[in-house]
Structure 1
Amino acid sequence: MRTRVTADPLAVVRNLGVLAHVDAGKTTVTERILYLTGATYKRGEVHDGTTVTDFDPQERDRGITIFAAAVSCDWDGHRINLIDTPGHVDFSDEVERSLRVLDGAVAVFDAVAGVEPQSESVWRRADRYGVPRVAFVNKMDRAGADLDAAVASIRARLHPAPLVVQLPIGREDGFRGVVDLVRMRALVWDAGRPVREEPVPRELVEEAWRRRGLLEEAVAELHPGVLEEFCAVPADPARGAAVSEATLVRALRELTLAGTGVIVLCGAAYRDRGVEPLLDAVVAYLPSPLDVPAAAHAADPAAPLVALAFKVSATATGRLTYARLYSGTLRKGDVVLDAGAGRTERVGRILRVQADRHAEVDRAVAGDIVALAGPRSARAGATLCAPDAPVVLEPPGSAEPVVSVAVEARRSTDAGRLAAALARLAEEDPSLSVRADAETGQTLLSGMGELHLEVAAEKLRRDHGLAVTVGRPQVAYRETVARGVSGVLYRHVKQDGGAGQFAHVVLDVEPLDGEGFEFRSSVTGGRVPREYVRAVEAGCRDALAAGPLGGHPVTGLRVTLTDGATHPKDSSELAFRAAGRLGLREALRSCAMALLEPVAEVTVTVPDDAAGAVLGDLAARRGRVSGSATRAGTGPGPGPVGGPVGGPVGGTVGGTVVVTAVVPLAELFGYATRLRSRTQGRGTFTTRPAGYAPAP
């Protein structure tokens, strides 16, 4: 671990996340970062269940990350606050909440698979929050690993300008190091030894200078300063470089912060190769809290407190609220304002977080990510600020649940405990929702997928000691208008002594392209006052909660208020809201309605000899195949060590087929078991939400 003295304490802070598709190796990358920085003294392994960040028993049993975990470490005189995020699509809301408070990210890609569905999904989320990233192509030691192919998939599917700053030394099992194209040096790792710096291997010198030239050209296309130097200074025949190292480093940082380009590094984290230069890139290229445009004006420890709560967790010692401080200083015992709820909370303790371990500190300052003990009601997305300087930050978005199960306690005496436990689960994870079915009286737990609900049910059993019965998963359907109606008149009149209620509305209903709801008014002459128009809209929104086909939420329609009438004494906003609600319900019963079901994009990877059976099974599940590609297999031996990237590897011994299809979510329950049986355990699949489609 290296040290360096830097004057500004905020300039040496890096708040970053590790993002990836499931099984790309991001937890292993995190574990190697903690080991190399001295934060841990033993390498944690996913397959052994010894990782620091996957500390929950379910994570260790399943071998995947389920809950975002925060850890801290030091490298090169910098403080790195790191959040290891889940890669499975069912837990994408954990990624969303983490991205909201991060300044930068490391995106991890599999060197064989390249960009996979969930890595594309989290990349888009990072785009939405403007989070700068560096890319790390992992598993370069695997058979079939190809840096050039992975970079090509980044360029094609994610559309940034990939700026490759390394050249691998060796291929597949022979991968042993990289050439740093910025400083033109070789970094080599031998088994059990730290990284060793060497001259560029003689057989790679020509290829390294060629790729350095390609890097300079790519940067010059994006950065005016580099373009000027690139055109003004001819390449040095002895060095082959037209741009100085200092200019190139400065430009790479500026392009990363602007999101114009993404620096690409490579390595094999499991074998401890490539992690040190990744840490150097995090320090050199990713932003500090001072570099984040949205918070640059407020990143001041002396300013009023502004913090965003992004995660709530129940522990054996009490409730913890994880928060990112954007400005100000928070001290133990301070009273803070939950700006959205209008309540004040007292902070009893401030904790530095190391996954499931905590160290108490007296204060936290702008740029810190800490856990707070004391706030009892602040939820994920709440803004915590100084009581005399209220401000509300934009909370992270949350997706609507698409799958539900009925949950009930096996013992009737546990019904109250179950209700309290479900409420706590929903508080910790906003992507879970709990409601009572009006028709059956059952308690329904809704989430993002089958695995999401399995994990929640297991938490009820393990953490809360409840014996529960869980029903078969049911998808969340929607209803939409296929053919509308015009001129639906509804008169709301109620008289039961005293002031009555009177509202008269005329509504047109028509389909709307896509999902959502649109309301407008064409009433003229003041026949319906403006405040009553707003009440009609609110009533219409109330009516969208349950449609006429099966009581499902209604989406994809436009409602126009075309006429109406009022009474001088009995009209009120309450009356017009009731008229809007009841009038739209009557109108929907006259419309031609259609049922929508959630669909998912499924990517199935299978041996080519099993492709026919898999395609037939997808067709039986009402799947629509949108594409397929064949990947050639490789021979048992790696190519020549030090050979050029993308060169021949070996003979083809049987490839795999990657099939992409859109399948109704209801047809995917139990698909994992069916796929294993049809492919003798060799097939894998991933899913991601693809919206809604008409149901048969």
Structure 2
Amino acid sequence: MGDRTHTHTGAAGRATAAGRPDSIRNVVLVGHSGSGKTTLVEALALTAGAVNRAGRVEDGSTISDHDEIEQRGGRSVQLSLVPVEWNGYRINLLDTPGYADFVGELRAGLRAADAALFVVSAAQEAGAVADTTRALWEECAAVGMPRAVVVTHLDTARTPFDEMTRVCGRLFGGDDPDAVLPLYLPVQGPEGPDGHAPLTGLTGLLTRRVLDRSSGERQEAAPAVDQRGALEEARDRLIEGIIAESEDETLMDRYLGGGEIDTGTLVGDLERAVASGSFHPVLAVAPAVRGARRGIGTVELLDLITAGFPSPVERVPPAVTTPEGAARPAPVCDPGEPLVAEVVRTASDPYVGRVSLVRVFSGTLRPDEAVHVCGHGLTGPGGGTRPRHEADVRVGALTGPFGARQRPLDSCVAGDLACVSKLGGAETGDTLSGTGDPLLMEPWNMPDPLLPLAVRAHGRTDEDKLSQALGRLVAEDPTMRLEQNRDTRQVVLWCMGEAHADVALERLRTRYGVQVDAEPHRVPLRETFASRATGYGRHVRQSGGHGQFAVCEIEVEPLPAGAGIEFVDEVVGGSVPRQFVTSVEKGVRTQAARGVVAGHPLVDVRVTLLDGKAHQVDSSDAAFQTAGALALREAAAGARVELLEPVAELGVLVPDDYVGAVMGDLSGRRGRVVGTEQATDGRTLVRAEVPEAEIGTYTIGLRSLTHGTGRFDRAYARHEPMPARLADHLRESPKSGTNGP
């Protein structure tokens, strides 16, 4: 990470880098929306010589060419891979969306990468950075990801660089803010008419040299006299931070005793600390500078990636088992070992069909080889599922993405990534292994989608294509669940938020040619008797030949919640022949399933058959079923019937500052707070019971209330009586009001 000769490799260098796992670096860029991740990727590609100054590759496309949804919406909604070469290394840059709805794409990037660049914008207020980036940092920390921080937009900064580094140290360093420190100080020119000072260069803290690019080319110089005080103060703090992470325990004593520690030793310790994830350097980058062939800080950032970030060989791979669950040795990042790979993203191409982005953890993936595909079975919060599946398939073409083109590849070795076409029914998260030794990698942690989107086909022609299109949509996106709700007879897509739902609808229309209409999501209600009642069912008809004759008398009484429906026979004297008692029960249960008031299933009652009448010729099974149903309806007409609504148990994890607002909001949703627990890092877990009709859009409400820092999970608790006011409204218009606010 010191001063070096900077060159980029050509085609031969690319082949060499891609063939050795130790020369590969897989880096994911994460950060809040608008922080400049995609612009930074383009600047790194320009610096590495992968694109020209217009940002275009050989075929004239740009590396940031995305689908029409991204172009129209002006924001990233999917993970994209941009490979570049630098000094004999292959760097796979994984650009992720910054919007919270697409956290699934972020976690796919984390799974595929071995290190992360955390991009924050100085154009935002420091407080805004705190609200929007802390959760993303925790996503990386949870998987032990080595991280560096890149500060962008210093030319339009609302927050000065030194303040931004203090914010990052406080937010990301936790108990050790000195684990997040800058390697360079930005040098800014005079303010322009707009009041902004452009970035003109960097001052290396370890080398004490200014890397000036104000002329468009890199020039080295000594720091100005007025810069030396801030330089030495920041340098001392950086050296102390590096020494604190050093394995050489004598360095601190030497340094505190006034001894000079050579730069080579410091750089070596710094690189080891970064690779282990115990130290997180901060760099200032200005991707686009007028007159400069390369952006400021991009060379230094590429050097950090190649020298400080770990190779795939150094990272601990995910655990593997057999499909039956038996533990197996961890994969070894060696091209000669048995194949273990994973589908980290799935997309549909209008010309080649399904395309899978695959990370190879062990072995070598080659075109036209047979592999075993194995996928986990998953269950969503609304009952939507992904079935467990496995099959032997033949690998299609291997390609490397760049711009609008896919460059053919002969193979993909351990540690590298490639796109694979025609991989059968492989879905995101599936494991690829040898056909003779099937394996399954442990699943990555994906958030549950908690926003329901009920859809129906717009027309008859859309009905024929809807099922297949929805299946392909959820196969591509592991943060989406498909539910066929038998109670409400709705097709429900469970999404991460409004933007996620909008993208799903747009992809159904543009990618699969299916027009759908969204409709209010309905929760499954139940009915029950609140008091004892009797009913009389008489079904008598004469129409020539055999007629229909059945009479029965029943009594209905409420039971405790969860008891279901009990049927008791107390007929004496044979007034209802034995063979027709079961017919009455069938009629009662069939009517109970249809409901007796508002068309919702009847539960938690005991139905007792008291008496009845039969005809020797005209009585039949069908007649007594009808009489049983009539008797139950008559009993309901003379009793108080309650509507039961589902209640969910919520666990809401929020920063302490928002606990009061969250509890007040839950109360406004007819919720009952049942307790709070102190969590780590200044957070509180609020537990509550809330009617499901009130939390249909809670994902959106909580995000707004906590500025994106809160999250929650939910689980079905029970059904309980709905307030009379709401129940009466539903009885008047049974199809309205069952979706949450």
Shift of 1:232: 2.4
Shift of 1:668: 7.1
Give the one of 248, 260, 270 matched to 1:252: 270
Trace 1:353-364 onto structure 2 (pairs within 5 A): 353-354=401-402, 356-364=404-412
**294-303 or 391-400, larger mean C-alpha shift:** 294-303
Give the one of 650, 667, 689 matched to 2:711: 689
Looking at structure 2, the residues matched to 412 and 247 of structure 1 have their Cα atoms a distance apart, in angstroms, of: 72
**60-69 or 465-474, larger mean C-alpha shift:** 465-474
Distance verdict in 2 for CA 1:126–1:349, change over 3 Å: same
Shift of 1:233: 5.5
Structure 1 residues 136-191: Cα deviation after superposition (integer angstroms, max 9, x where no partner): 11111124232232222222222261132111212752432211112221122337
- Per the alignment, residue 160 of structure 2 pairs with 146
Shift of 1:363: 1.3
Structure 1 residues 387-417: Cα deviation after superposition (integer angstroms, max 9, x where no partner): 2333322122222111112212221221021
The share of aligned pairs that are identical, in percent, is 27
Contact 2:462 2:516 in 1 (8 A): no
Check if 1:266 corresponds to 2:284.
yes
Give the one of 460, 485, 489 matched to 1:441: 489
Structure 1 residues 652-680: Cα deviation after superposition (integer angstroms, max 9, x where no partner): xxxxxxxx9999965679989xx9xxxxx
- Per the alignment, residue 544 of structure 1 pairs with none
- Per the alignment, residue 73 of structure 1 pairs with 84
- Per the alignment, residue 141 of structure 2 pairs with 127
- Per the alignment, residue 199 of structure 1 pairs with 222
Contact 2:8 2:49 in 1 (8 A): no
Looking at structure 1, the residues matched to 28 and 120 of structure 2 have their Cα atoms a distance apart, in angstroms, of: 14
- Per the alignment, residue 26 of structure 1 pairs with 37
What amino acid is the match of 2:181? L
The alignment's C-alpha RMSD in Å is: 4.3
Structure 1 residues 515-565: Cα deviation after superposition (integer angstroms, max 9, x where no partner): xxxxxxxxxxxxxxxxxxxxxxxxxxxxxxxxxxx99xxxxxxxxxxxxxx
Distance verdict in 2 for CA 1:261–1:233, change over 3 Å: closer
What amino acid is the match of 2:509? R
**91-100 or 118-127, larger mean C-alpha shift:** 118-127
What amino acid is the match of 1:85? T
| TM-score, length basis structure 1 | 0.68
Distance verdict in 2 for CA 1:64–1:51, change over 3 Å: farther
Looking at structure 2, the residues matched to 427 and 101 of structure 1 have their Cα atoms a distance apart, in angstroms, of: 18
- Per the alignment, residue 93 of structure 1 pairs with 104
Shift of 1:350: 0.7
| Gaps in structure 2 of 5+ consecutive residues | 1-5, 190-195, 290-294, 319-329, 376-388, 526-558, 568-599, 602-641, 672-683, 689-693, 718-739
Looking at structure 2, the residues matched to 52 and 476 of structure 1 have their Cα atoms a distance apart, in angstroms, of: 47
Contact 1:404 1:475 in 2 (8 A): no
Looking at structure 2, the residues matched to 456 and 297 of structure 1 have their Cα atoms a distance apart, in angstroms, of: 35
Distance verdict in 2 for CA 1:306–1:487, change over 3 Å: same
Give the one of 168, 190, 202 matched to 2:186: 168
Contact 1:402 1:598 in 2 (8 A): no
Distance verdict in 2 for CA 1:212–1:620, change over 3 Å: same
Give the one of 199, 213, 230 matched to 1:189: 213
Looking at structure 2, the residues matched to 262 and 62 of structure 1 have their Cα atoms a distance apart, in angstroms, of: 33
Contact 1:335 1:344 in 2 (8 A): yes
Shift of 1:80: 0.6
What amino acid is the match of 1:203? D
Shift of 1:209: 2.1
Distance verdict in 2 for CA 1:383–1:36, change over 3 Å: same
Distance verdict in 2 for CA 1:414–1:619, change over 3 Å: closer
Structure 1 residues 345-393: Cα deviation after superposition (integer angstroms, max 9, x where no partner): 1012111122542111121111110011121112111111122333322
Shift of 1:599: 6.3
Contact 2:131 2:707 in 1 (8 A): no
Check if 1:331 corresponds to 2:331.
no
**349-358 or 86-95, larger mean C-alpha shift:** 349-358
Give the one of 293, 299, 302 matched to 1:279: 302
- Per the alignment, residue 567 of structure 1 pairs with none
Look at both structures and tell me which one has the larger radius of gyration over its CA atoms: 2
Trace 1:403-552 onto structure 2 (pairs within 5 A): 403-472=451-520
- Per the alignment, residue 644 of structure 1 pairs with none
Looking at structure 1, the residues matched to 63 and 708 of structure 2 have their Cα atoms a distance apart, in angstroms, of: 26
- Per the alignment, residue 314 of structure 2 pairs with 291
Distance verdict in 2 for CA 1:43–1:235, change over 3 Å: farther
- Per the alignment, residue 378 of structure 1 pairs with 426
Structure 1 residues 590-646: Cα deviation after superposition (integer angstroms, max 9, x where no partner): x99954468696999xxxxxxxxx99x99998799xxxxxxxxxxxxxxxxxxxxxx
Contact 2:21 2:416 in 1 (8 A): no
Contact 2:108 2:344 in 1 (8 A): yes
Contact 1:25 1:269 in 2 (8 A): no
Distance verdict in 2 for CA 1:448–1:592, change over 3 Å: closer
Give the one of 330, 345, 370 matched to 1:311: 345
Shift of 1:436: 2.1
Looking at structure 2, the residues matched to 319 and 72 of structure 1 have their Cα atoms a distance apart, in angstroms, of: 21
Distance verdict in 2 for CA 1:492–1:36, change over 3 Å: farther
Looking at structure 2, the residues matched to 684 and 359 of structure 1 have their Cα atoms a distance apart, in angstroms, of: 44
| Gaps in structure 1 of 5+ consecutive residues | 478-484, 494-549, 552-588, 605-613, 625-659, 676-682
SS at match of 1:176: strand
